[in-house]
Amino acid sequence: MKTIISKAILYCFSITLLQACTNSQGQSDKAKNGANIGTLTSKHPNIIVILADDLGLGDLSSLNPSSKIQTPSLDRIANEGIRFTDAHSNSAVCTPTRYGLLTGRYAYRTRLKKGVTWGYSPALIEEGRTTVASFLQQQGYHTGIVGKWHLGLNWQAKDPSKPIVEISNSDKFPKGLDTNVDFSQAVQRGPNDVGFDYSYIISASLDMSPYGYIENQKMIELPTAYTYGKSQNKDGRGIFWRAGEVQPSFDFH
C-alpha cells in the first residue's frame, strides 16, 4: 500500500507540535528545580503547505541541480527546513488530493468515489472531522488558507424547497444564469468551519462557476455578471473556462 502524503504530513505535524509542547513543559519543570534548560524552546515553528499541480520531484533545483528552472525561494525552504523525499498523493486529481492532505484519510471513504467536486457541490469534509488546520488550532496556531478550495461548500438557497442549481444531464454542470443561490449569505462548512481562522478562496477550479473570491465564507462581491466561457485551443491547451455567474471585477487571467 502506498504511503499517503497527507498522513505523513499530519503525523509529522503531530510529532513536531507535541514535542514543542513537551519541551515547554520540560522547561517549566526544570526552571522550578533550578536546572539548566539548555537550548529547549517552546516556540512553535511556522508551517506553510503549498499544494501545486504537476510539480515533479525533479522540478526544484534544490532536489535536482539539472532542473530546467531555478527555484531559489523553495530551495531556501528546503535547505532551512526538513526535507521529505518519499511521499505519495492519494489521487491524481484535485478534490481527493486536497481532502487527503487536510484530513489524512483516503477520499474514497467519502461520498466522492471518483472525479472532483464542482463549484456548487456541497461540502465534502464531514461534520466533526479533524483536519490539519483544526489540529493546529488546538495547539495554539493561527491558521489561514489562500487559493483554490475545491472541497465543496454549503451554499444558501433562495428557495429551500428547490435545488441549488439546475444540472445539465449531458455534462453534470450547472446551466443558465438563474441559480437558486443566495450569494448575499455566507456559505457553510467552508474553510472557517474546519479549522482555518482566515480564508480567501475560490470555490473550485478556474473553469467552474461561480467565479469569484470568497473571504471568510462570504463573497467579496455578488456575482451579478455572466460569462459565456472561453474555449481552449484546438490542440487542447490554453485558457479555458465554462459559462456561468461571475463577479463583475473578477479577472480570469
In order along its 253 residues, the chain shows pLDDT tens digits of 333 333 333 333 333 333 343 333 444 443 444 333 333 345 788 888 998 888 888 899 999 999 999 999 999 988 988 888 887 788 889 999 999 999 999 998 999 999 999 999 999 999 999 999 999 999 999 999 999 999 999 999 999 998 888 765 545 556 555 689 999 999 999 999 999 999 999 999 999 999 999 999 999 999 999 998 888 766 666 788 988 899 999 998 8
Report CA 244 to chain centroid distance, whole Å: 23
Give me the pLDDT at residue 191, please: 98
Give me the pLDDT at residue 155, please: 96
252 Rama class: left (phi>0) / alpha (psi -120 to 50) / beta: alpha
Give me the pLDDT at residue 209, please: 92
Give me the pLDDT at residue 99, please: 96
Which class for 253: exposed (0-12), middle (13-18), buried (19 or more C-beta within 10 A)?
A: exposed
Which class for 171: exposed (0-12), middle (13-18), buried (19 or more C-beta within 10 A)?
A: exposed
The residues that bridge with 199 in the sheet, in sequence order, are: 145
Give me the pLDDT at residue 234, please: 67
User: Distance (Å, rounded) from C-alpha 194 to C-alpha 201?
Assistant: 14
Give me the pLDDT at residue 92, please: 87
Measured CA to CA in angstroms, residue 40 lies from 15, 106, 149, 247 at distances of 16, 36, 37, 50
Measured CA to CA in angstroms, residue 5 lies from 43, 90, 91, 101 at distances of 26, 7, 10, 7
